[in-house]
Every structure is written in structure tokens, then in C-alpha cells.
Amino acid sequence: MQVFGKFKEVHELEYLTKCYLYINKDEEETLNCDELNSLLKKKNKNVAGTIFLYNPYTAPMGYDLDKKLQDQDFSFDDKFHEIQIEDAIRLIGKHLKHKYKGMLVEIKFLFNYIKKDILPTSALEVFDMDLEKLHTNQLTVFGKKDNYHDYKNISYNGNFIFFAWGHKYDKHHPNIATYAVNIAQWAKKLNKDIGFIYDGVQDVDQSFEYTRFIHPVVFGKLKNILPNALEELFKKDKIEPFSIKNM
């Protein structure tokens, strides 16, 4: 599998604004950026669906993950670059390869800001304050279009949307929770198959209502369960919610 992305830098903040996973037809085949652009000219035919994760932590091939791209003389040229594959995408892609060979899957993020381990950081405090201003004329710290989504105007291609951005929200960040709920609820109104993995603490409807979507990269006892849950979910003809209680 290969992953491609577009990067943008605004006021020294770096974002991954577009991202696609390509499922190679076989081990020998590789896709270049020109071929990717050709596939994207017919998204309805070539994009199988969308995976929704939390935020990116990646860089173009050959660049250091632990340094800003602007410090490595990267050219923010609004073009696709092949990028390093994150663990979450690799885990999901492994279970997509039998059904979607030769196709693209779009990767979207709740937040496009590139940062490692974003959950316990002060960035969330800023996100939560920013989100109050998202639909106003007030300026935000992070780019409105570069970091956030207008949930009513998100474009989805393909047949499915798989939510996997995590399931534990800090009660002190209510605007983030509302932002996530709005995206999920609006997507549900579209004619797409909706899938996610949930823990069974709440039933499927409650899990969706509160966006309790388990992230593919987990620790503890779930670490051994999630790969099998992903396999079971994606081998079905129709992508749909899957409870780990079934494992």
C-alpha cells in the first residue's frame, strides 16, 4: 500500500490537507503522483470510501518526522507527495487490500494539524476555543479551512465512511465533542455505509450518538482484539458497526 498527501504551512503551523491510501494491485506495482492525479479525475470510479482518523503525524518519504518540514526546506507546492504510512492507516489498509485492490481510499482527519501525541497537549485547549469561532467571522489560531471541517460541506466519495478517530473525549472540551458529533451525524444522512468499532459499554446507537469510535492503535487488552475486529468488519459485504463484544 502507498499513501499520498498534500501539505500546507500557514503561520508556521503545518497541516496535511489531503490524503489518500492506494491499495496496490500486487506487490510489484507502485503508483506515482501523476498516476494518482489521473485516478482522482474519476473519483466516483476510483475512490472506494473514506476513513476518518483523529489527526496526522507523518511526513513525505525521506523527511524527518521529528522536525518541521519548513526546517527541512520542504516546498509546500500544493502537490501530492508520497508520505510515510502511519500505524493506524497500515492496520486498516491491511484489511482493505483483498476487496479494494487498485483503488483509493480517502483519509480524513478530525484535525489536520500535524503533531505527535496530540491528545494530552495544550493544542486541544486551543482547538476547543477555536471551534466556538468556526462559523463566525472571528479569527482562529488554527486555519478554519486548513485544520477544521465544515461538517455540512464535507465531500465524500465511494460507498463507505469508517470512523476511527477514538472514543474518549475530555469532558473539559465540549466544543470538540460537539464538532465530532456534528460531523458524524451529518455523514449519517448521506447514502453511505457507516462503519466503526465500538466497545459495547453503550449500544450501537448510543455509541454513534456520542462518537465512541475505537481508534485502530490501542494498548492493553484491546491491542490483541482490534486486528481481528478490523478483519471481521471489512470482510463483510457491507461495512457496518462492529462491537468488540462479538470477539
pLDDT in tens, the chain (247 residues): 999 999 999 999 999 999 999 999 988 899 999 999 999 999 999 999 999 999 999 999 999 999 999 999 999 999 999 999 999 999 999 999 889 999 999 999 999 999 987 876 788 889 999 999 998 999 999 999 999 999 999 999 999 999 999 876 666 788 999 999 999 999 999 989 999 999 878 889 999 998 989 999 887 777 888 888 999 999 888 999 999 886 6
pLDDT at 27: 82
Count of structural domains, the chain: 1
What does the block give as the cell for 111? 484535525
Residue with C-alpha cell 489518500? 20
Whole-number Å distance between alpha carbons of 145 and 194? 25
Domain hosting 152: range is: 2-246
Whether 90 and 1 have beta carbons less than 8 Å apart is answered as yes
- pLDDT of 218 reads 80
The pLDDT, as a whole number, for residue 168 is 62
pLDDT of residue 108: 98
Using alpha carbons, select from 175, 202, 181, 1 the residue that is nearest to residue 88. Answer: 1
Beta-strand runs (E) in the chain: 2-10, 13-22, 47-53, 81-83, 104-109, 160-163, 193-198, 242-243
pLDDT of residue 199: 87
- 99 phi and psi, to 5 degrees? -95, -25
